[in-house]
Chains A and B, each alone.
Chain A
Amino acid sequence: MTLQQQIRSNRLRSTIVVFGFVLLLLLLAGLVGFAFDLSLGIVALIGAAIYGVFALIRHRSIVARLTHASEVDPEAIRPLRRLVENVSIAAGLPKTPEVRIVEDPAPNAYAAGLRPESSYIGVTTGLLATMPQRELEAVLAHEVAHIRNRDTYLMTIALIFAGVIALIADIGFRSLVWGGGRSRRGGIIVLIAAIVGFLLAPYAALLLRLSLSRRREFLADASAAEILNDPEAMALALRRLERDTTQIAYADASTAHLWVESPTDKVDSERRGVLAMTSLFNTHPPIESRIAALEEAGGFRLPEALPSDEPFGRELGLV
């Protein structure tokens, strides 16, 4: 699959996802209306629409808040910005993405934004403290590849819609708990259907989102190798991420698919506890198979020992 095909398929999938979510939304709102009151269903729908539009406009800061990323003075992270600039030039991005810092000891990174021109990359302080320059560049190239391949577009849309679905399901579920007795169309079957629907909706949203994520990780790895002309750097970076056992502090199912390495793999912290099952649906393919794919494409074998070069963060005065 070439890059252009991937970009086109991402656009097509985005359209499908949007329609899928709208359908799910209507279904859910219908359920709310049916179980309680038509007006409540309409209110929920309007609420969801407003939230959705708001989220689309404010998606940058919403994702930043969810991932605890903060904007920093560009001067303070100049060497890091330079790396991002170089990688974006090599990738042919129209504009260099902003860099935001996540105060977290676990090494990880993500990219977010609807358009390449308005995207940004979030990196954790842990990533800067562990990765030497060569591997850090590979991670940045992976994120830049996500932006160039329009993966972030799709993922950001999916994230927003999953949030909307969760909101509606929440409204329905609360009404069920607090006002279930007053339901006019009472029937026990309707009630059970409603409960099942409200419980399943977030799952459906999650599944839709996960169906987007896994193959693109392989493609982003391959793109990163191509951008830097150095597949070994990407493989080394992945191996280092794998060996590191620090867990990202606020691993959250809603943003898991954004990161370079799945932040939720090692814990079962899940939103609302209801979603403990999601470990079955990992957002990322196992790191081992990602490394194997790079080794095969690049024709090399990764040595057992990782290079003990200086971490890049030292240059920034972080370590």
Chain B
Amino acid sequence: MLWLWILIGVAVLLLLFAVFGYNRLVRLRNEVNTGWSNIDVQLQRRADLIPNLVESVRAYAAHERGVFEEVTRARSALQQAGSPGSAAEANEGLTAALVQLFAVAEAYPELKASENFLQLQEDLTDTEDKISAARRYYNATVNAYNTGIQTIPWVLVARPLGFHEREFFSARGDTTPPQVSFASAT
């Protein structure tokens, strides 16, 4: 009789452990999804700024066709990127193309002084800051989630239950180390 009770007790404990563990993984996965949509919003916003920017530069420097094409190509690459890794890559590509565009703009003082151009430039900087902020959060959530499904005992059941590892938002060859956690400082 005693053994039965112990068995029931152990079964209940195991069940509780499984329920809490599963819920934790679901929560971590949802945080990753939220984190990704934060990045996505900002990437979209960045891509939306590009046509206006190209137009305003084109008005002064119509002959710099190569640069405009480069920027437009980088923009559509960003919009078509499917995974976080390739989106990060495409985003870097767009940054590189924009450097050229702004180098062209340097040569036109009137353009540089125009209200519209200044506003676009400011918005673009703001978006870039926000992308890097959203990236910090997203990478931290990915880190927590991946650790969650790579640790015993979850590593044994995570895949069959549909928990797959997620990609960091970082371009290949990007050497910035993933987040350092200070949570243990308390």
Interface residues of A (CB under 8 A from B): 1-3, 82, 85-87, 89-92, 215, 218-219, 221-223, 225-229, 231, 293-294, 296-298
Contacts and interface: CB of A to CB of B under 8 A. Distances in A.
Given A86-B130, A89-B130, A3 B137 contact: no
B116 interface: no
Contact residues on B (Cβ < 8 Å of other chain), bracket: 20 to 34
Nearest to A225: B182
Contacts of A298: 182
Contacts of A1: 183, 186
Residue with the greatest number of chain B CB neighbours at <10 A, chosen from A222, A229, A296: A229
A219 B186 contact: yes
Nearest to A88: B133
Interface in B86-141: 126, 129-130, 133-134, 136-137, 140-141
B126 A297 contact: no
Contacts, number: 62
A218 B42 CA distance: 31
A91 B42 CA distance: 15
Interface of B: 31, 34-35, 38, 42, 126, 129-130, 133-134, 136-137, 140-141, 179-186
6 closest Cβ contacts across the A-B interface? A297-B185, A90-B133, A222-B185, A89-B133, A86-B133, A92-B137
Contact of A297 (B34, B35, B129, B182): B182
Contacts of A225: 182, 185
Contacts of A296: 185
Given A3-B183, A90-B136, A297-B182, 17 more contacts: A85-B130, A86-B129, A86-B133, A89-B42, A89-B137, A90-B134, A218-B186, A219-B186, A222-B183, A222-B185, A223-B182, A225-B185, A226-B140, A226-B182, A229-B179, A296-B185, A297-B185
